[in-house]
């Protein structure tokens, strides 16, 4: 087991070298930073400094974007983002876009604020909301990647 932990720590160091200022620590930052890095590569986002309030990046058109990556069935929001990009990481290593649209739509149907200040929204609700996002409001991927799966089509080729 320790061998696997050491490999994971080696991967953390490598990711932190690739994305200076991002923390890939195993205590909770890892999934968020992985999501931000994946979104930056796939959508051409410019990452904001780590732990910026509400938004994680800006898209090529200048919109501020909050990025969420999950392996579960929901994500949590602390406040209403201007724009929201939610990705889901599968156990096989593929990434699926769950939601790509205005943050107000997701915020308006998110659950009540919990004691920790978060409002949860399910992946299924986000998928339903995504169907109503006009194409011109979406952030389009700037690269094709064999690890990315569009919810409505086959995997993109590398």
pLDDT per residue of the chain (158 residues) written in tens, 0 to 9:
577 878 888 998 999 999 999 888 777 678 889 899 999 999 999 999 988 899 999 999 999 999 999 988 999 999 999 999 999 988 777 889 999 999 999 999 999 999 999 999 999 999 999 999 999 999 999 988 777 776 644 344 33
- Whether 156 is in a domain gets the answer no
Q: d(Cα 99, Cα 102) in Å, to the nearest integer?
A: 9
Residue 40 belongs to what H/E stretch? helix 29-43
Q: What is the DSSP letter of 136?
A: G
Query: What's the CATH code of the domain at 132?
Result: 3.40.1350
Q: What is the DSSP letter of 5?
A: H
- Read off the pTM: 0.83
For residue 115, what are the domain limits? 27-136
- Whether 68 is in a domain gets the answer yes
């Amino acid at each position: 087991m320790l061998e696997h932990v050491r490999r994971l720590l080696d991967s953390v160091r490598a990711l932190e070298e690739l994305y200076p200022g991002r923390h890939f620590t195993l205590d909770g930052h890892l999934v968020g930073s992985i999501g931000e890095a994946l979104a930056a590569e796939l959508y051409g986002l410019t990452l904001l400094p780590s732990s910026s309030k509400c938004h994680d990046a800006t898209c090529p058109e200048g919109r501020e974007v909050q990025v969420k990556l999950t392996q579960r069935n929901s994500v949590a929001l602390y406040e209403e983002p201007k724009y929201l990009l939610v990705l889901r990481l599968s156990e096989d290593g593929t990434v699926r876009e769950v939601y790509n649209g205005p943050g107000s739509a997701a915020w308006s149907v998110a659950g009540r604020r919990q004691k920790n200040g978060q409002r949860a929204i399910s992946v299924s609700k986000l998928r339903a909301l995504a169907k109503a996002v006009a194409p011109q409001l979406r952030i389009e991927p700037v690269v094709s990647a064999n690890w990315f799966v569009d919810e409505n089509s086959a995997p993109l080729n590398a």
